[in-house]
Amino acid sequence: MNDQREEWSLNYFNYFTEVEEHFQQARGTALFLMSPLDWALVETWKNGGVPLAAVLRGIDAAFEKWRAKKSKTRSINSLAYCAQAVLEEAKAMEGTAPRSSRPAPAPFEIEDLRRFLLANAGQLRSRDETLADALEKLAREAEEHFQDLEDLERRLSTLEEKMIAAARAGAGEEQLLAFRRDMDRALAPYRGKMTADQLAMLERNYLDSRLMESAKLPRLSLFYLR
- The answer as to whether 105 is a domain residue is no
- The answer as to whether 62 is a domain residue is yes
Contact assessment for residue 100 and residue 5, using Cβ atoms and an 8 Å cutoff? yes
218 and 116 share one domain: yes
8 and 71 share one domain: yes
Contact assessment for residue 167 and residue 212, using Cβ atoms and an 8 Å cutoff? yes
Percent above pLDDT 70 for the chain: 85
128 and 208 share one domain: yes
Q: Could you tell me if residue 71 is left (phi over 0), alpha (psi between -120 and 50 degrees) or otherwise beta? A: beta
- The answer as to whether 99 is a domain residue is no
114 and 205 share one domain: yes
10 and 63 share one domain: yes
Last residue of a domain, one of 67, 93, 119: 93
CA distance linking residue 9 with residue 159, whole number of Å: 24
- The answer as to whether 100 is a domain residue is no
75 and 125 share one domain: no
Q: What is the tally of structural domains in the chain?
A: 2
Give residue-wise pLDDT tens across range 32-61. 778 888 888 998 888 888 888 999 999 999
Apex 178 CA angle, 38 and 123, nearest 5: 70
Compute how many other C-beta atoms are within 10 angstroms of the C-beta atom of residue 171: 16
CA distance linking residue 120 with residue 118, whole number of Å: 5
Per-position DSSP letters for 80-107, written without gaps between them: GGGHHHHHHHHHHHTTTSPPPSSPPPPS
117 and 83 share one domain: no
- The answer as to whether 68 is a domain residue is yes
Amino acid at 133: D
- Specify the DSSP class assigned to residue 171: S
75 and 120 share one domain: no
- Dihedral of the CA atoms 42, 47, 48, 53 (nearest 10)? 50
Query: What radius of gyration, in Å, describes the C-alpha atoms of the chain?
Result: 19
87 and 126 share one domain: no
Last residue of a domain, one of 93, 119, 137: 93
User: pLDDT: is 11 or 220 the higher one?
Assistant: 220
**Has residue 4 got a pLDDT over 80?**
no
Enclosing domain of residue 81: 2-93
**Has residue 162 got a pLDDT over 50?**
yes
79 and 133 share one domain: no
**Has residue 121 got a pLDDT over 90?**
yes
Contact assessment for residue 121 and residue 132, using Cβ atoms and an 8 Å cutoff? yes
CA neighbor of 20 nearest in space, from 29, 12, 10, 8: 29
116 and 77 share one domain: no
Say what the pLDDT of residue 71 is.
66
34 and 121 share one domain: no
- The answer as to whether 103 is a domain residue is no
